[in-house]
Amino acid sequence: MRGFAGGTNGIDKQVDDPFYGFNDGSTHIRVGGDGKPQYYQFESPLVRLFATDGYRPLVTGDPKAYLKSCKPNSVCPQTIWIHRFYDDAADTFGEKAVDFDIEEAARDLYELVELVLEKTGAQKVNLVAHSMGGLVCRSMLQKWSYDSFGDFKPTRHGHDMVDKLVTYGTPHGGITFEVGGGVLDEFMEDLGPVGSEIFSPELMYGYLVSHATYGTKAPADWHADEIPDDKFDVDRILCIVGSDAGDYGLAQKVVGPQSDGLVAIKNAYVAGAHRAYVHRSHSGRYGLVNSEEGYQNLRRFLFGRKRVKIELAGLQAARPDPDGRPSVWQAELQLSIRGLPVVVNEQLAAHYCPIPLEPPADGGRRS
């Protein structure tokens, strides 16, 4: 699932692509202490999954219509499906476009997953999403696999249909701004004002909570980045977090440097879920999705069979300095894989995402 496309022009551009942009590769990486760009070819996450991991691309016209025409258990389960939720909002097909609705997209995702499971015989699917696409997934998992919607009645809950969820740069905690005024107005034009209010933490409650209605004011103790245990196990979620705001242009001026240029680092993950910090921007030439770093994290989370856990034990709490000011302890971490010219996880103070060695101020909610 792709992310937010903005207004009609942006939507039309994505709809014209059969893979919604997930076939976009890259030839640029930033390596070394100076961060200068160098040539490195990454063919795209889709092509890599097709070529290396044996998945099949099934481009057969309307995905739902094709699946409905198939007999149960007749479709290869090792396939990749693009949730084309923007098609109805495009005007390139000669029909009047309808306004994009994130809850409608979540309902359609449920129906697509149900069809894929029936026709492939697979027990569950994996969901991979960029940016807003992750919120569509969460709406399906947390709300629309429980709620009726017109003639839509779910037959089972999302956690019984989905094995793992991977998100790239998804604003799980919403999108917040560091500055306002004219710069913010220019930024909203860059983002695309059409439907961009869905990233407001206050409005996310309406499409993430079962039986809530859009526009309902969220309770004071509700947090957008939390998923209730009975809705989905956060141990089955990986959030790939971008930490390079500099490559995203105007947007980073209003979101601030502690971001991927669009989504603040603190808002880019589900509380308690697995996280990988990648020094990439939200999208574009140096973006998260079309990166070797992002793909390596994706592949290991989906297909890996072993987990390594490292704990720092015996560390005493930091004491105030002689003037009584509180001390802050932080650790830095870099993880690389032999043979790859990239760092697949970087938590550095310079990237605004070091590992805090003190309990977080919110009582451990973001542990």
Residue 187 has pLDDT above 60, yes or no: no
| Mean pLDDT to the nearest integer, 180-193 | 45
| Containing structural domain, residue 203 | 8-304
57 occurs within a structural domain: yes
Mean pLDDT, rounded, of the chain: 86
* pLDDT score recorded for residue 181: 45
For 260-300, how does the pLDDT look when each residue is reduced to its tens digit (9 = 90+)?
998 999 999 999 999 999 999 999 889 999 999 999 999 99
Which is higher by pLDDT, 349 or 33? 349
Nearest to 108 by CA among 266, 1, 34, 241: 1
Report the SS3 class of residue 311: coil
For 108-129, how does the pLDDT look when each residue is reduced to its tens digit (9 = 90+)?
999 999 999 999 999 999 999 9
314 occurs within a structural domain: no
Maximum pairwise Cα distance, the chain: 74
| Mean pLDDT to the nearest integer, 299-321 | 84
Question: The whole model's pTM is what?
Answer: 0.90
Which is higher by pLDDT, 10 or 128? 128
Query: 200 pLDDT band (50/70/90 cuts)?
Result: confident
* pLDDT score recorded for residue 292: 94
Q: Which two tokens stand for residue 351?
A: 């990237």
Query: 79 pLDDT band (50/70/90 cuts)?
Result: very high
- State the pairing for strand pair 79-80/125-130: unpaired
Q: What is the CATH number of the domain that holds 141?
A: 3.40.50
* Strand partners for 126: 164
22 occurs within a structural domain: yes
Which is higher by pLDDT, 25 or 327? 25
For 210-264, how does the pLDDT look when each residue is reduced to its tens digit (9 = 90+)?
999 988 888 989 999 999 999 999 999 999 999 999 888 666 667 788 999 989 9
291 occurs within a structural domain: yes
* pLDDT score recorded for residue 75: 93
24 occurs within a structural domain: yes
User: Do residues 19 and 46 make contact, with C-beta atoms less than 8 angstroms apart?
Assistant: yes
253 occurs within a structural domain: yes
What is the number of structural domains in the chain?
Answer: 1
260 occurs within a structural domain: yes
User: 150: buried, middle or exposed (CB in 10 Å: 19+, 13-18, 0-12)?
Assistant: exposed
Query: What percent of the chain lies above the pLDDT cut of 70?
Result: 90
352 occurs within a structural domain: no
* pLDDT score recorded for residue 259: 94
* pLDDT score recorded for residue 190: 45
* pLDDT score recorded for residue 361: 54
* Strand partners for 345: 335
Query: 53 pLDDT band (50/70/90 cuts)?
Result: confident
Which is higher by pLDDT, 343 or 10? 343
* pLDDT score recorded for residue 188: 42
Q: Backbone dihedral region of 346: left (phi > 0), alpha (psi from -120 to 50 degrees) or beta?
A: beta
Concatenated DSSP letters of 21-81:
TTT--EEEEE-STT--EEEEEE--HHHHHHHHH--EE---SSHHHHHHHSPTT-S-SSEE-
Which is higher by pLDDT, 354 or 60? 354
| Mean pLDDT to the nearest integer, 145-151 | 84
* pLDDT score recorded for residue 21: 87
